[in-house]
Amino acid sequence: MKGHDLINSMLPDELILEIFRNLESKSSRDACSLVCRRWLTLERFSRDTIRIGASGSPDALVDLLARRFPNVTNVYIDERLSVSLPVDFGRRRSASHSSLSWLRLHFVSERSEAGASESDSYCISDAGLTAVADGFSNLEKLSLIWCSNATSAGLRSVAEKCRFLKSLDLQGCYVGDQGLVAIGKCCRQLEVLNLRFCEGLTDTGLVELALGCGNTLKWLGVAACAKITDTSLEAVGSHCSSLETLSLDSEFVQNKGVLAVAKGCSLLKNLSLQCINVTDEALTAVGVFCSSLESLALFSFQRFTDKSLCAIGKGCKKLKSLMLSDCYFLSDKGLEAVAAGCSELSHLEVNGCHNIGTYGLESIGRSCMRLKELALLYCQKVGDEALSEVGKGCKYLEALHLVDCSIIGDDAIYSVATGCRNLKRLHIRRCYEVGSKGIIAVGNNCKYLTDLSIRFCDSVGDEALVAIGQGCPFLRHLNVSGCHHIGDAGIIAIARGCPQLSYLDVSVLQNLRDMALAEVGEGCPLLKDIVLSHCRQITDVGLDRLVKRCKLLESCHMVYCPGITSAGVATVISSCTNMKKVLIEKAKVSERTQRRAGSVISYLCVDL
């Protein structure tokens, strides 16, 4: 009935709050807060997360947000992001502007009196962290990403007033030991701590934190902290018995520290190490003491051998994910030991381990039947026989990534396609022995394929994409960049057979013409991203046919396309209201187009 608000009169606050909590996007929540004053108030009370950039007077903005949203428990501040000033929905626009302007002036005045430089006012400082502490006393998660002006004084304020803090990310912050000591003393529920690139920390801070709240710590990340040594890890091993995840990247940590963690943290599930001074002794201890280990990532190890992987295979029976990157002294023997002992392995990545070859991967195919994702990068000694075994034994494989594997060819892809019919993602780059035969087998057997990337595979032609178009109706992502034998016929088959396509990269296809783009426009209405760069036969005509149908298009890259002119660029801008990025040469953007959509246009830099 006109004049009656049935929703507000019938629904209690608790139900409306629950509805707000289930809204997925911030824009939806903002729209709801505009309905009436009651919804505005309730939406403010229901919001538990805010994300802001640490630029444009962030200290003042934090103070404003703290008063608006008193129940926030998660705060993310990232100095790499630009700030988005909020609209005060509860007042008139002018009132909101005046309120924020007063905050800015008040903040700048205080900073000036304190002698701070003008550039400092664009980064969150200790004053901003104090505002966080004062405004969000129930804070549970705080992320300060590359906030270079935050110091121990601000972190101490957070520690003293936010005693329910469970997660703290200080990546790139130059905080000192005093701040970390305060966190250890006051935040006795801390579970997650990220100290990547915290160059101001020493062993003193991390040791005191471990003494204070080590019994609750479950996740720890340390990278590029030159003053963190084995002393800190010994404290972690002694006091952090609940630790489940450790990510360590350091030139200064040696066996002693890793040994202490392995012996003291028996619940460890996830371990990532990039420590050039760690040897077989430490990794063997991990295999002996960490029987709950599920994920292991080893980067740039030059001082350990197959002995380490044999220990992992023998002791870590629950291992599900293994990543080996640039581990030069590992061979098939180590991988065979993992295959024999870790039958639950579901994810394997081998990157640049030049002594691992066909035999090691054959062992994986025979023993790890639960494998779901396999990535082989720069594996010059792995041949077709390895993937043939994977095709026979790993029926649940969903993703295969191959990069610069020079002796893997069609027979390998055929075996995987016929044996792993649940394959959803196939990425192949610069594997020159892979041709149309293998991709045709994928089209004939892998009907659930959603993501196909075959970049710079010169032997793949149109007949391969015809098979994909006919057999893979759920395809959403296609990248055929640099496949010179693919032309109109292949792309037309995709357009007619894959209506769910949302991403298409056809860059460097010299035989692609406007007719194919017109078919894509007709058959792929859900397309959001397209890359046309270096397609020399595409013109404004094809571009016009494409954008008139693909109304959801958000990005378009079209550099070095001589047939596309300023008129074509203007057509893209005027037809695609959702456009977020257009990459084009500056000479092809008219003044009118620049005025209309300058914020979404990115220029190719050619004047270097």
Q: Which pLDDT does position 4 carry in this prediction?
A: 59
Summarize the confidence of residues 24-34 as an average pLDDT.
Answer: 79
- Tens digits of residue pLDDT in 446-500: 999 999 999 999 999 999 999 999 999 999 999 999 999 999 999 999 999 999 9
Share of the chain above pLDDT 90, in %: 73
Summarize the confidence of residues 291-312 as an average pLDDT.
Answer: 92
Amino acid letter, residue 417: A
Amino acid letter, residue 178: Q
Work out the mean pLDDT of the chain and round it to a whole number: 89
- Tens digits of residue pLDDT in 161-185: 999 999 999 999 989 999 999 999 9
Beta-ladder partners of 193: 168, 220
Per-residue pLDDT band for 2 (boundaries 50, 70, 90) equals low
Question: Is the model's pLDDT at 418 over the cut of 90?
Answer: yes
Question: Is the model's pLDDT at 115 over the cut of 90?
Answer: no
Q: Which pLDDT does position 121 carry in this prediction?
A: 52
Interatomic CA distance for residues 555 and 542, integer angstroms: 16
Interatomic CA distance for residues 194 and 74, integer angstroms: 15
- Tens digits of residue pLDDT in 543-593: 999 999 999 999 999 999 999 999 999 999 999 999 999 999 999 999 999
Long-range CB pairs of 29-35, under 8 A, 24+ apart, other chains included:
30/89, 33/89, 34/89
Question: Is the model's pLDDT at 312 over the cut of 60?
Answer: yes
Q: Which pLDDT does position 60 carry in this prediction?
A: 79
Of the ranges 68-72, 103-107, 433-437, which one carries the lowest mean pLDDT score?
103-107
Q: Which pLDDT does position 41 carry in this prediction?
A: 82
Containing 10, the helix (H) or strand (E) segment is helix 6-10
Cα torsion at 319, 324, 329, 333 (round to 10°)? 40
Q: Which pLDDT does position 303 carry in this prediction?
A: 79
Interatomic CA distance for residues 352 and 480, integer angstroms: 24
Question: Is the model's pLDDT at 504 over the cut of 90?
Answer: yes
Residue 143 has φ and ψ, to the nearest 5°, of -120, 125
- Tens digits of residue pLDDT in 326-346: 998 999 999 999 999 999 999
CA-based nearest residue to 305, from 272, 332, 323: 332
Summarize the confidence of residues 302-330 as an average pLDDT.
Answer: 94
Amino acid letter, residue 155: L
Share of the chain above pLDDT 70, in %: 91
Per-residue pLDDT band for 40 (boundaries 50, 70, 90) equals confident
What's CA 437's distance to the chain center, in Å? 33
Summarize the confidence of residues 265-284 as an average pLDDT.
Answer: 94
Interatomic CA distance for residues 192 and 209, integer angstroms: 12
Summarize the confidence of residues 202-223 as an average pLDDT.
Answer: 96
Amino acid letter, residue 121: S
8 Å CB contact between 520 and 550:
yes
Question: Is the model's pLDDT at 595 over the cut of 50?
Answer: yes
CA-based nearest residue to 220, from 264, 279, 255: 264
Question: Is the model's pLDDT at 98 over the cut of 50?
Answer: no
Terminal-to-terminal C-alpha distance of the chain: 67
CA-based nearest residue to 376, from 316, 416, 419: 416
Interatomic CA distance for residues 39 and 32, integer angstroms: 7
Containing 340, the helix (H) or strand (E) segment is helix 332-341
Q: Which pLDDT does position 515 carry in this prediction?
A: 97
Q: Which pLDDT does position 3 carry in this prediction?
A: 52
Q: Which pLDDT does position 201 carry in this prediction?
A: 94
Per-residue pLDDT band for 186 (boundaries 50, 70, 90) equals very high
Question: Is the model's pLDDT at 47 over the cut of 90?
Answer: no
Per-residue pLDDT band for 245 (boundaries 50, 70, 90) equals very high
| C-alpha distance from residue 374 to each of 87, 274, 368, 427 (Å) | 48, 21, 11, 10
Amino acid letter, residue 473: P
Of the ranges 244-248, 385-389, 598-602, which one carries the lowest mean pLDDT score?
598-602
Query: pTM of the entire structure?
Result: 0.87
Question: Is the model's pLDDT at 351 over the cut of 90?
Answer: yes
**In the structure encoding, which two tokens stand for residue 121, read together?**
């006012």
Neighbours of 318 (CB within 10 A): 14
Of the ranges 79-93, 118-132, 296-310, which one carries the lowest mean pLDDT score?
79-93
Question: Is the model's pLDDT at 85 over the cut of 50?
Answer: no
**In the structure encoding, which two tokens stand for residue 316, read together?**
């870590």
CA-based nearest residue to 536, from 555, 562, 554, 500: 562
- Tens digits of residue pLDDT in 408-417: 999 999 999 9
Of the ranges 26-35, 360-369, 461-470, 540-549, which one carries the lowest mean pLDDT score?
26-35
Q: Which pLDDT does position 605 carry in this prediction?
A: 58
Per-residue pLDDT band for 14 (boundaries 50, 70, 90) equals confident
Q: Which pLDDT does position 105 carry in this prediction?
A: 36
Summarize the confidence of residues 111-119 as an average pLDDT.
Answer: 45
Question: Is the model's pLDDT at 119 over the cut of 50?
Answer: no
Select, from the ranges 1-15, 289-303, 364-378, the one with the highest average predicted confidence (pLDDT): 364-378
Q: Which pLDDT does position 23 carry in this prediction?
A: 80
Q: Which pLDDT does position 84 carry in this prediction?
A: 45
Please provide the size of the chain in residues.
608
